[in-house]
Structures are given as C-alpha cells and as structure tokens.
Amino acid sequence: MRVSKKTRPRSTMLEGPIAKPWARKKDAAGRISYVVTYTMMLVGVAAAFLRCYYGWKSVPMLGNLCLVLEDQFQGTDLDTDNIWMREADMGGFGNGEFEMTTASTNNSFIRNNQLYLLPTLTSSVIGKDAVFDGYTFNLTGCTNTNLTACSAVSNRTAGTVINPVMSARLSTKGKRSIRYGRVEVRAKLPRGDWMWPAIWMLPENNTYGPWPLSGEIDIMESRGNSPDYPAQGINYVRGSLNWGPLTWLNAVAKTYGWWTERRSSYGDAFHLYALEWSDQFLRIYVDNRLHHMLDLRFTIPFFQRGDFPASVSNASQEIILENPWANSGNSAPFDQPFYLILDVAIGGTNGWFPDGAGNKPWLNGALNAMELFAEAQDQWSQTWPQSEDDRAMIVDYVKMWELC
C-alpha cells in the first residue's frame, strides 16, 4: 500500500529557515581572543619550562665523589681504632658549657645498630651534695692536654661545682677528614631544656690560625627546649659558618640560616642532615636540597664578605686589621681538610641560649653560671625524658665523601 504525498508525516527538522553557520561572517574579535588565549597558554608553558630548566642548571652540583667514611653502627661498640675518638673534657670547649664529656659507654654506645649520645646527671654517680661541696672529681681518660680541664673540686665558699651533667662528644679528628665533598648524618635529636645537640666540623690543622681564623662548619645545631621556647626550640635546626680574622671577631651572623618543622619537632623522627661543599659553593640542608639552611656561593673573598673594620683597638693602640686569607682563593678559610664532630652539649655562656628567654636559670656573664645552673637541676631535669630513646641524640648512620 502506497502512502500518498499528502498523508506522509512532515519532518519538523525542516520547518523554518535552515541554519548555515559556515556561511556567517567571521567574528574578528572572537578569532583574535581565541588566538591570544592559546598563544598565552603556550608562552606560559614555555616560560615555566625555561624557568625550571635554568633553575635546575643554576644549582651547583658536586663532581665525582670518593667514599671516606661510612658507619652504619653494626658492631657492639664504636670503632675507636679507625674512625671515632671519644673526647673526654671538663673545660667547656670555649663556650662555657656545663657538661663534662666522658669516654664512658654510659654516655655513648651502640644499641640496635644505632649510635646513642646520652646526657646523664652527675649527681646520679657522685651524689647531689658532692656536686656542690667537698668533692674532687678526676675525669677518666681525659683527652685535653690542659690538666685544668681534666679535674674539678666542688667548694661552696669558692662557688665552684662539679659539672652537673655527663655527656658525649665524638670526633673523627686525626682519622677521617675531607677537603671538599659531602657529609650525611641521619639522626633524631634529644628533647630536654638546655640541651645543645650538634653535628659540625673543625679544621684538621688550623691552617690560618686558632678559631675562628681557620673556620668552623656547623651542619646542624639545635636546642632541646620545647617548641614554645622563644629563641627557637626543638622544632628548629640551624646551619652556619664561623669565621673571622681575630679570635674575638666572628662573622657567623653573615653566614647562617635555619629550617623548621611546623607541626612536629626534630625530636620526633629521624632526619637527614647534609653538607655539600666545593671550592665554588657550600650548601647545608635538612632532608633535601629544597630545605636548605645555608646555600652560599664563593663569589667574593670572605674578608670582603665580612665587611670588617679597617682597624681595631687592642689594649694600648689602634692596629690595622690584616686579611689572614689574602693569599688564598674565595673559599678560604674553608679550603682545607675538616673533620666531623657529633655531640650533645648542655647550656653554656657563649649566647647560644640568650639571657631572658625561657626562664633560663643562669646569666651568661655570671662568674658562677655553672653553679646557678646546677642549683636549678630539679627544674630543668624534669623536662628531660626518662626514656633514653627520647633523651639521647640517636644517629642512624654517618657517611662522608671527598671530591676525587
């Protein structure tokens, strides 16, 4: 049966005028905006690529490295024959520190393939009364040639006390050192008021003279005080260089920096503390290079960087300030072999713990600063964790490489 044309259904798609968009006149403004938008997108992508590329190229990197030291602490005790020396000293190391460092395995030992540097109370060994009066303490295995740093006598009348804390200081002096290279130390820091954990380096031979003429490299320093301590507590770590043309003229304020954990502290977990160092640059960072505490290029001599005065005054006259690194390159005094130090100091009078911050029980200028600190033992010792895992600086491994 055929359907007539009159009865066929009519397509609704054909009703009205037929749209022909291809026949319309082009919108010039729309075309321009289209081109501009996509051009800017391409330019942005290219600019981002170039920024990343040149940023990557601008980061100086070390060349070939040769392993000098690797200690995973797999044994039962420190390798004191080939790598480490336990420094035993009561003299305060030039900072007026309040601890004595010992050669005892009570204060430095290996446990579960990790190195512990553990502060302990002297009173737990000789009694609290002996710390203050009537006791002569001779430090076993003292490594200081100055005998005054090897013993102490407590006397209340004279205001002298036995160092109230025993701790540890380990170094690779005379055994392992590097001149340019890389250092890695993976560690967890101790908690407790007035603790001063540090990973740092000193020159093997003091080529340019006594400290700070020959420099000091501080890979990591921190304070065991809680995060609310107003002068940067356990949630901060700092890196710096100490250097200067005179023993009392240190320009550390021109070469230092820090990094912080905003929601935790460096006593909660292990972190990597690293140094990268060549004759062109020196970089100190925590965990990765983006977290750098100090990133310094040796573009000018250190004497110029220090902006030191032309002359200084001694007891009787004005003298011209000489440049001790005048005949060396831009990296001097950091152009000589340095050895590694790990330690947990306690307190001190050099200003690391500033006066007036955090209910500090001593003044840096006080002649009896250590006595004041010892008298406050019941106060600060309460902040020291009972757990040795929290009171010690625990080191997972140490590695050192030198530029080949």
Which residues are designated catalytic? Answer: 216, 221
Which residue's entry shows tokens 């929601």? 263
Instruction: Give dist(CA 347, CA 102) in Å, integer.
Output: 17
Instruction: Give dist(CA 196, CA 233) in Å, integer.
Output: 10
- The answer for residues whose C-beta is within 8 angstroms of residue 381's C-beta and 6 or more apart is 121
Contact 362, 350 (CB under 8 A): no
Instruction: Give dist(CA 182, CA 191) in Å, integer.
Output: 28
Contact 96, 348 (CB under 8 A): yes
β-bridge pairing 99-101 and 165-167 = parallel
Separation in Å, CA 357 to CA 229, 255, 309, 351: 7, 23, 31, 11
- Half-sphere exposure in the Cβ direction for 230 (13 Å, CA): 7
Instruction: Give dist(CA 207, CA 218) in Å, integer.
Output: 18
Strand partners, 202: 339
Which residue's entry shows tokens 């625990």? 394
Q: How many other CB atoms are there within 10 angstroms of residue 340's CB atom?
A: 27
Concatenate the DSSP letters of all residues of 185-245 into one string. Answer: EEEE---STTEEEEEEEEESS-TT-STTTT-EEEEEE---S-TT-TT--TTEEEEEEE--S
Which residue's entry shows tokens 């240190």? 250
Tokens, residue 279: 């004759």
Residue 361 burial (10 A CB sphere; 0-12, 13-18, 19+):
middle
β-bridge pairing 393-403 and 65-71 = antiparallel
